[in-house]
């Protein structure tokens, strides 16, 4: 497990930090996080296999897999349950619900990964609070994250939107407004000096100016 220099290993990750590297067994063989460099990665955790909300999420993620692929974004699941439990859960989803999960799920029985990412504190010995999503750029840097309570299912549509927005704004040339979807108008970065504030014909133009989303 790659350490975070100068940071308590139980402290949650921050946006802009490098995602800690790890090697773990998964439902598709051994996985090293750094092997995903060069692509976007959505690394997401769930508190346990055979749970109703996470089952619904995995069904939706499997159905949206090609949409993530179109965004050049890989998916990697995580749970503290064992590899054997993961495989039995995927078999149940396949046989009873007709869905094949096409992405790997890593095991973390000792909470080593969960603690490195700050999902649990040093005092916790279970994964009840492990429901985090990390959006990691091709250089291995965390660009966004979200956390959900146990009773609320995550939105795969919003996950796709976040990946698309992060990709679109990665060059720093634009911003995405509230609820932005690909193809919709963007926002221009604001000016940061008096000349910019006084130059436009309207008082809001220096900090609120839309621009078309050009095909890329």
Question: pLDDT of 130-142, one tens digit each?
Answer: 789 999 999 999 9
Residue 192's pLDDT is what? 82
Q: Alpha carbon of 124 to those of 76, 115, 120: distances in Å?
A: 24, 9, 6
Residue 128's pLDDT is what? 59
Give Cα 149 to chain centroid, integer Å: 16
For residue 194, pLDDT beyond 90: no
Q: Hey, what are 14's tokens?
A: 């921050």
For residue 165, pLDDT beyond 60: yes
Cα angle, residue 73 at apex, residues 31 and 61 outer, rounded to 5° = 85
Cβ atoms of 175 and 208 within 8 Å: the answer is no
Per-domain boundaries in the chain? 23-159, 171-216
Strands (E), the chain: 23-26, 29-32, 40-45, 73-79, 105-107, 132-136, 142-147, 186-187, 210-211
Give the fold, CATH level 3, of 23-159: Glutaredoxin (3.40.30)
For residue 5, pLDDT beyond 70: no
Catalytic residue numbers, as ranges:
54
């Amino acid at each position: 497990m790659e350490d975070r220099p100068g940071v308590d290993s139980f402290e949650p990750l921050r946006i802009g930090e490098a995602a800690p590297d790890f090697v773990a067994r998964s439902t598709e063989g051994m996985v090293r996080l750094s092997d995903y460099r060069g692509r976007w990665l959505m690394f997401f955790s769930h508190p346990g296999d055979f749970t109703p909300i996470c089952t619904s999420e995995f069904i939706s993620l499997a159905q949206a897999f090609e949409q993530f692929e179109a965004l050049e974004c890989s998916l990697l699941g995580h749970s503290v349950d064992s590899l054997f439990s993961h495989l039995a859960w995927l078999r149940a989803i396949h046989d009873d619900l007709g869905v094949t999960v096409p992405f790997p799920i890593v095991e973390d029985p000792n909470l080593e990964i969960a603690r490195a990412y700050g999902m649990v504190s040093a005092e916790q010995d279970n994964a009840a609070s492990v429901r985090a999503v990390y959006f990691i750029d091709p250089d291995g840097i965390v660009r966004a994250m979200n956390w959900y309570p146990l009773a609320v299912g995550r939105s795969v549509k919003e996950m796709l939107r976040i990946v698309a927005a992060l990709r679109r704004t990665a060059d720093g040339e634009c911003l995405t407004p509230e609820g932005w979807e690909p193809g919709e108008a963007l926002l221009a970065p604001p000016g940061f000096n008096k000349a910019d504030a006084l130059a436009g014909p309207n008082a809001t133009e220096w900090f609120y100016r839309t621009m078309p989303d050009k095909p890329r």
